[in-house]
Chain A
Amino acid sequence: MTTQNVTIPVDVGPVEIAQERKAPAPAQREIVFDIRDLEVNYGPTTAISGVNLEIYKHYITAMIGPSGCGKSTFIRCLNRMNDLIPGAKIDGQVLYQGQDIYGDGVDPVEVRRRIGMVFQRANPFPKSIYDNVAWGPRVLGMKKDLDERVEKALTSAALWNEVKDRLKKSGLSLSGGQQQRLCIARAIAIEPDVLLLDEPASALDPIATTAIEELMHELKKDYTLVIVTHNMQQAARVADLTAFFSLEVGENRRTGVLVEYDSTDKLFTNPVDKRTEDYVTGRFG
């Protein structure tokens, strides 16, 4: 029987003070995602099971845990990207602003309009930089003031100054870190509410990683961010709230479960669950 240590975070104060982040006060905390008893099966294997948590607006929430513990599976449930995997079965509820995104009649395309995703490896389209950012809005009918929209997205992604003179060049001509920021610009150009980032900096060098992390602090003001990272220190630096996933090993099955979810500060100074303690201190076998 899994014990899940989920405390509604009461205070993110010290972290804010340390990094001068301006997050809304606890009293104004809004729930964006309410996930209940989420279970994902790929054929006979149960990838994650019994996951309950809430994601709050304008906070950065990080998922950490060992490989294969289901954190990527989890985040991909939030925008129904798991639908693309044949044989994937999702049970439970994922309430986005109160509506179950897996409910009857819900169009996954609509879901993904509002919940954007940035992937581990930057995957810009083989189009010009401008078109990379403009294609989404164009196709989705946001044709007005396209130039401004592109500029705004690239500025928010801290890329505008570097590319404003070469918007016609191929997106693939940028460096790795720039390509990833281009993907972020592309994602926010369609004005989503939430941005999901699946190990966004794992393929980048330390300087590009820092740029992305700083960017996340800025993006938090306008969006809600959920990130998956295998780098604990990154979660510690970036996230307000952290969820620790781990593997439950049975006879023949390995299932990912949510072990502990709390403010990052708490998880890294005095975690409640021994499994969390073992993981963050690196004593995980």
Chain B
Amino acid sequence: MSAAAPEFSLRPTGRLRRRRIVNRIMESLGTLAALLAVAVLGLVIVSVAVRAAPALNLDFFTKPPNIFGGPGGGISSAIIGSILIVGIATAMALPLGVLIAIYLTEFAPRAVAGPIQLVLDVLNGLPTIITGIFVYGLLVIGHTQSAYAGAFALAIVMLPLVARAAQETLLLVPSALREGALALGVSRWRSVLGVILPTTFGGILTGGVLAMARAAGETAPLLFTCSIFNPAVSTDVTHALPNIPVLIFTYSEQPDQSLHEQAWGAALVLMAFVLVASLTAKALLARSRRKLGQ
């Protein structure tokens, strides 16, 4: 069969060709923007790392600051302090946030859910300095600063984040699953506990990790509640403990150059924590999506 010359061409002409060009331009712009974002982050990481480099040595991670405030020493006490404070904050915020989310998605009548949702949204947008002042007034005045107070303030910051993440995960659970559990004659709470919640672990954990990353860097609340501390390593949570954000702040105001470098170092540690947390969160989310959607 001989091939006759086709009456149409599969190659674009005229308007179609223009559209293709426009398409290519938009694609390129998009790619450029993405690269820009990556570049910015890369720049931040690199510049912090460069400035922190001189301070990074074994002592930095294993020794507490010099007792007399001089050069040398490290930030081990701040690391431990931050871990404790953020840990306690998470222990407060995570269960509460999850419970609130469960209540909102599974049990609350529409009339009640709306206002509570609003409260959470407001809390989310509350400037952390106000949170700091509030907790100061509540827990610090008349007593002393303490890691507890700091944790409490951070918990307030974390709560709406955890609740929102848990809520979104819960909403992702197909209603067919709920129906299936209820149709077995199992009570609402047991269904949530036994079927719904287990499928949301991944999402909730993700939310928790991200909230932790956010809380680890909040400075304002800690300034009011946990900033006057003994630089030595301590685990006494009834008193103020050294912590990374406040340390970065105080060191940056010191005249000593080596302390500035340590501040950068601390910032690097914080950033590394946020990065690791974000990557972990992503991995957890992917895993939980796989389990739900399989």
- Which A residues are within 8 Å of any B CB, using their own CB? 79, 81, 84, 86, 109-114, 116-117, 119, 121, 123-127, 135-136, 139-140, 170, 172-173, 183, 186-187, 190, 192
| B14 contacts A by Cβ under 8 Å | no
Q: How many A-B residue pairs have CB under 8 A?
A: 70
Known: A110-B185, A123-B174, A170-B294. 6 other contacts (CB 8 A): A116-B183, A126-B177, A126-B198, A140-B186, A187-B184, A192-B185
Interface: B42 (CB within 8 A): no
Assuming the A-B contacts A135-B194, A170-B294, are A123 and B180 also in contact, with contact meaning beta carbons closer than 8 angstroms in the complex?
yes
Q: Given A139-B190, A173-B294, are A125 and B180 neighbors across the interface (CB < 8 Å)?
A: yes
Interface residues in B173-188 (C-beta closer than 8 Å to A): 174, 176-177, 179-187
Chain A residues positioned under 8 Å from B187 (CB to CB): 109
Write out the residue numbers on chain B whose beta carbons fall within 8 Å of the beta carbon of A117.
179, 183
Closest Cβ neighbor of B187 among chain A residues: A109
**Do A79 and B294 have beta carbons less than 8 Å apart?**
no
A110 to B180, CA, bound (A): 15
Which residues of chain B have C-beta atoms less than 8 A from A84's C-beta?
A: 179, 182
Structural contact, B180 and A119, CB atoms closer than 8 A: yes
Chain B residues within 8 Å of chain A by Cβ, number: 21
B179 touches A183 (CB 8 A): no
A119 to chain B minimum Cβ distance, whole angstroms, is 6
Q: Which chain B residues lie closer than 8 Å to A127 at the CB level?
A: 195, 198
Interface of B: prevailing SS: helix
* B110 CB-CB contact with A under 8 Å: yes
A126-B198, A126-B291 are known contacts. Are A183 and B180 too (CB-CB below 8 A)? yes
Q: Please tell me if the beta carbons of B179 and A123 are within 8 angstroms of each other in the complex.
A: yes
Q: Any chain A CB within 8 A of the CB of B116?
A: no
Q: Which residues of chain B come closer than 8 Å to A173, judged between CB atoms? A: 294
Chain A residues contacting B181 (CB-CB under 8 Å) are: 125
Query: B169 near A: Cβ within 8 Å?
Result: no
Mask: chain B, 79-92; 1 = CB below 8 Å from A; 0 = not = 00000000000000
With A119-B179, A123-B179, A139-B194 already in contact, the answer to whether A86 and B110 are too (CB < 8 A) is: yes
The answer, yes or no, to whether B32 is at the interface (CB within 8 Å) is no
* Selected contact of A111 from candidates B185, B190, B195, CB within 8 Å: B185
List B contacts of A135 (CB < 8 A): 194-195
A127 to B182 CA separation, bound complex (whole angstroms): 16
B 103-134 to A, binary, CB cutoff 8 A, 1 in contact else 0:
00000001000000000000000000000000
Name A86's closest neighbour in chain B (CB-CB). B110
A79 CA / B183 CA spacing, docked (Å): 8
Contact B294 A172 (CB under 8 A): yes
Which among A119, A124, A139, A192 has the greatest number of chain B C-beta atoms within 10 A?
Answer: A139
The answer on a CB contact under 8 Å between A119 and B110 is: no
Name which residue of chain A comes closest to B185, CB basis: A113
B44, CB-defined interface residue at 8 Å = no
Closest to B291 in A: A126
**Minimum CB–CB distance for B286 against chain A, Å:** 15
The 6 closest A-B pairs by CB, nearest first: A113-B185, A112-B185, A123-B176, A117-B183, A123-B180, A136-B184
Max count, chain B CB within 10 A of own CB: residue among A119, A136, A173: A136
Residues of B within 8 A of A126 (CB): 177, 198-199, 291-292, 294
B185 near A125 (CB under 8 angstroms)? no
CB-CB under 8 A from A183, the residues of chain B are 180
Knowing A123-B174, A123-B179, A126-B198 are in contact, say whether A186-B184 is a contact too (CB < 8 A). yes
28 contacts between A and B (CB under 8 A): A79-B183, A81-B182, A81-B183, A86-B110, A109-B185, A109-B186, A110-B185, A113-B185, A114-B185, A116-B185, A117-B183, A119-B179, A119-B180, A123-B174, A123-B176, A123-B177, A125-B181, A125-B195, A126-B177, A126-B198, A136-B185, A139-B190, A139-B194, A170-B291, A170-B294, A172-B294, A173-B294, A186-B180
- The minimal Cβ–Cβ distance linking A16 to chain B, given in whole angstroms, is 30
| Contact (Cβ within 8 A) B179 A140 | no
Instruction: Tell me which residues across on chain A come within 8 A of B194, comparing CB atoms.
Output: 135, 139
User: Whole-angstrom distance between the alpha carbons of A124 and B194 in the complex?
Assistant: 13
Choose one: A110, A172, A190; the contact of B184 (CB below 8 Å): A190
With the chains together, A246 CA to B36 CA distance in Å?
62
Residues of A within 8 A of B185 (CB): 109-114, 116, 136, 140, 190, 192
B184 and A112 form a contact (CB under 8 A):
yes
Report the separation of the CA atoms of residues A140 and B110 in the bound assembly, to the nearest whole angstrom. Answer: 30
From B185, B194, B199, B292, residue with most partner A Cβ within 10 Å: B185
A123 vs B190: C-alpha distance when bound (angstroms): 18
Query: Which residue of A81, A112, A113, A126 has the most chain B CB atoms within 10 A of its CB atom?
Result: A126
Residue in B closest to A196 when the chains form the complex, CB atoms: B183
A183 to B184, CA, bound (A): 10
* Residues from chain B with Cβ under 8 Å of A140 in the complex: 184-186
Q: Is the CB of A125 within 8 A of B110?
A: no
In the complex, per-residue mask of B154-198: 1 if CB is within 8 Å of any chain A CB, else 0? 000000000000000000001011011111111100100011001
**Chain B residue at minimal CB-CB distance from A114:** B185
Across-interface contacts of B291 in A (CB, < 8 A): 126, 170
Complex interface: chain A residues within 8 A of B177 (CB): 123, 125-126
A36–B143 CA distance with the chains assembled, in angstroms = 69
